[in-house]
Amino acid sequence: MKQIYAYCRVSSREQNEDRQLAAMREFGIQSGNIYLDKQSGKDFNRPAYLRLLKKVRCGDTIVVKSIDRLGRNYGEILEQWRKITKGKQAAIVVLDMPLLDTRQKNHDLTSTFIADIVLQILSYVAQTERELIKQRQTEGITAARSRGVKFGRPPMERTGLFLILRASWKSKKISAREAARQLGVNHSTFLAWTK
């Protein structure tokens, strides 16, 4: 029996996938057939995507909201597209781009050519956007650092208790792990502080 699957992806755990999931439910896809990854689209080494690929059989359909949800690497999007449509002989539907619907078997040469061009353009745009995001992020971090912004957690303060525990540790009255536990820090943090 032919199955219809959905693939959804957001770039991080903080991002919300509700818009994609709503579109998949509206398309009529059962929740058990929706695969979701919460990680970058830079490559296709994603757990849910790989599980989906193992599940897909000839005649099945994979639905994505937009091409950039499938991925953001130009060459790999084209490779995965071919793997699904030619290798597995499954169909792909891109909801935001009706031209990218491979379910229609009556594609003539012109419509196939146009769909291939659209796929290549959208894949290129997805990768370019990823590169621009990385560039803007790097520029933002550089600008913030030049203004004196510090990244990461602020260093933990060493209290008077630290001095007492360090002395006890040096005289071998307590272990480094016990001293760290009493301070509420990592064992490695305590050892780093003692140097």
DSSP letter string over 102-152?
A: TT-TT--HHHHHHHHHHHHHHHHHHHHHHHHHHHHHHHHHHHHHHTTPPPS
Q: Which tokens in the block code for residue 51? A: 């599980």
| DSSP 8-state assignment for residue 73 | -
**94 forms bridges with which residues in the sheet?**
64
11 tagged catalytic: yes
Residue pair 66/94 in contact (Cβ under 8 Å)? The answer is yes
Active site amino acids = 11
